[in-house]
Structure 1
Amino acid sequence: MQRHSTRSPLLSLPGAVPAEGRDEGVAAHYGDLFREQRALADGTGFVDLSHRGVVTVTGDDRLSWLHLLLTQHVSELPAGQATEALILSAHGHIEHALYLVDDGTTVWMHVEPGTQDALIAYLESMKFFYRADVADRTDDFAVVHLPAGSIAPIPDGTVVRETAHGRDLFLPRAELESFAAGPAKPAIGILAYEALRIEAHRPRLGMETDHRTIPHELGWIGTAVHLQKGCYRGQETVARVHNLGKPPRRLVFLHLDGSEVHLPGHGTPIRLAADGPEGRQLGFITTSARHHELGPIALALVKRNVPVDAELIADTTAAAQEVVVEP
């Protein structure tokens, strides 16, 4: 995966600690992780997501063309209505996750950092005779997240993607610093944003997914996959599993033992507590965080047949599960 080279200017704000890994380029936090989480949960502040890729599609056929490629029904998407969609492989495995809104003339979408080049290459390969133009706008626009309940003013002319979780602004990158200096503050780091995402059981491409993840395993059916629309790549797998089978794995939410100093990271094996650290691996941690109220929490993918009341361990950390995707 290629990384976008832009380093957020907000990393120069007081207390900013740079994030690492896939969130490199923005702040992990600004000095007080739990304060930032509480602010975000209370509907105040903003999150700098300027490391995410921004892609636009213009042209008269933009919606009807995207409708043929995406898992979501977008051919008649009303202007201003937010949605999310996936692009699947021929075998139904998740390749891209797109967070979209159409402003009446342009479809705006933000995607995982570094995935925009591969996404654009795929879209360009599928244009054929359709009147649709795809552009990488990552250099020009930065994504900024305002939490649900925020009363912060939005600059005139800003494209907004509003959902139950808050509003994503496609802000001109040149205006990022002036926005941060305005009434929307305080700035909140990506770790607080991720903790609340885990609490809300919302999957993230590259964290909750691997090369063989299908949408059913993560609960993306309904929110990102429309089961009544026509054919798209991977649709046969989606329909077959939905109508005839069961996904091989399921997403779970974990309450982790708070006495442990270190959080189990992405990929940490999940086993039955009764079998101990040498037992058979039944899944793995996808994302973990320290939550201001819940303590250490995580999302994990486990095999479908793991009992919902089973006591689990992540490496040596005790983990009590909550069902996200029914087995």
Structure 2
Amino acid sequence: MSAPAAARPVAAEGYARIRAGAPVAVRGTAALIWVEGPDAAGFLQGLVSNDVAALAPGGACAALFLDAKGHVQVEMRVHRDAGDAFTIVVPGDRADVLMGLLERYHFSEDLELLGPEPVEIVTLAGGARTPGALTVPGPLPGTVDVVADDPVAAIAAAGAEEVTADALELARVAAGVPRVGVDTGETTLVQEAALEGAAVSFDKGCYLGQETVARLQFRGRANRRLRGLALEGAPPEPGALVTHDGREVGRLTSVAVTPDLGPIGLAIVRREVEEGAVVNVGDASARVVALPFPPR
């Protein structure tokens, strides 16, 4: 769970630039895994949630690795290097988990699994780009992540101003973008975390966990859904229970104190709690809002 991100002056300034659409850059880390060989495309296509086989060389997409029951396990970005070669960009703390899963499902396919290898990345926002770098979708809509041997040079080539990781975290919460492992648990479903729009193809063939994802999309609905919480007063710590009419309906996962929206949080809340409802979050109160957060 994400500790409250406070709007300290430097973070607040960077957050404002991100929200204004200015060209900015944030340095970070990730890990790379390579899948290479004649069967690489088919292997990944049968495991991850997005249509990686449809990518042209140089293309990339967000994807999820689910378990057989459709629970979200790992988020990733997949880059097609060539017809039979892919680079997966994965959060460093989930790299070994993803590699273990790939190895578990690798049987007789003609391919190699390489990695994971830690790398530095640069998140670019506001239209900034670094020509020639390996580029994948970034953590927020309209952003990209570039793999950078020299982050300083990559930022300079993009013509961007560097801002802090705290600024990006504030912007993430304000945009209502969940982080797998922070806003999700081991049994969270794709639609509960509102991940189906960016990381799922509903046109591709079968993949691990697809039956649950498709059933919720076309024949039912999830009983819980990611929601924004416009908090009143001092924000509670992540993990605080969300209750409505004396009943537990969720748990606070991400918290931020932003210059324009004030204290806000994310929680996967039971669907019967409608937007506009007032809930208790620990000892505080909050109003349930749609995402991304509307202006106050």
Check 1:292–1:56 CA distance in 2 against 1; reply closer, same or farther (3 A cut): farther
Structure 1: stretches of 5+ with no match in the other structure? 1-20
TM-score normalized by structure 2? 0.86
Bigger shift: 39-48 or 297-306? Answer: 39-48
2:125 counterpart residue number: 147
Check 1:143–1:75 CA distance in 2 against 1; reply closer, same or farther (3 A cut): same
**Letter aligned with residue 185 of structure 2:** D
Q: Deviations along 1:121-146, whole A, 9 cap, x unmatched?
A: 1112222232322222533x312101
Check 1:177–1:148 CA distance in 2 against 1; reply closer, same or farther (3 A cut): closer
User: Could you say what secondary structure the match of 2:248 adopts?
Assistant: coil
Measure the CA separation in 2 of the matches of 1:300 and 1:107: 34
Check 1:165–1:67 CA distance in 2 against 1; reply closer, same or farther (3 A cut): same
Q: Which has the higher contact order (CA 8 A, sep 6+)?
A: 2
User: Could you say what secondary structure the match of 1:123 adopts?
Assistant: helix
Using the TM superposition, give the Cα deviation of residue 31 of structure 1 relative to its aligned residue in structure 2, in angstroms: 6.2
1:248 counterpart residue number: 223
2:56 counterpart residue number: 78
Kept in 1: contact 2:121–2:151 (CA 8 A): no
Larger strand percent = 2
User: Could you say what secondary structure the match of 1:198 adopts?
Assistant: helix
1:124 counterpart residue number: 103
Q: How does 1:2-41 map to 2 (within 5 A)?
A: 32-41=10-19
Q: How does 1:301-320 map to 2 (within 5 A)?
A: 301-320=268-287
Q: CA RMSD in A?
A: 2.7
Structure 2: stretches of 5+ with no match in the other structure? none
Check 1:195–1:70 CA distance in 2 against 1; reply closer, same or farther (3 A cut): same
Which of 223, 239, 247 is 1:267 aligned to? 239
Query: Percentage identity across aligned positions?
Result: 28
Kept in 2: contact 1:30–1:189 (CA 8 A): no
Kept in 2: contact 1:147–1:165 (CA 8 A): yes
Which of 93, 97, 111 is 2:75 aligned to? 97
1:15 counterpart residue number: none
**Letter aligned with residue 10 of structure 2:** D
2:257 counterpart residue number: 290
User: Could you say what secondary structure the match of 2:242 adopts?
Assistant: strand
**Letter aligned with residue 238 of structure 2:** H
User: Could you say what secondary structure the match of 1:85 adopts?
Assistant: strand
User: Could you say what secondary structure the match of 2:148 adopts?
Assistant: strand
Using the TM superposition, give the Cα deviation of residue 226 of structure 1 relative to its aligned residue in structure 2, in angstroms: 1.6
Equivalent pairs counted in the alignment come to 286
1:138 counterpart residue number: 117
Using the TM superposition, give the Cα deviation of residue 247 of structure 1 relative to its aligned residue in structure 2, in angstroms: 1.0
1:167 counterpart residue number: 144
Measure the CA separation in 2 of the matches of 1:123 and 1:81: 21
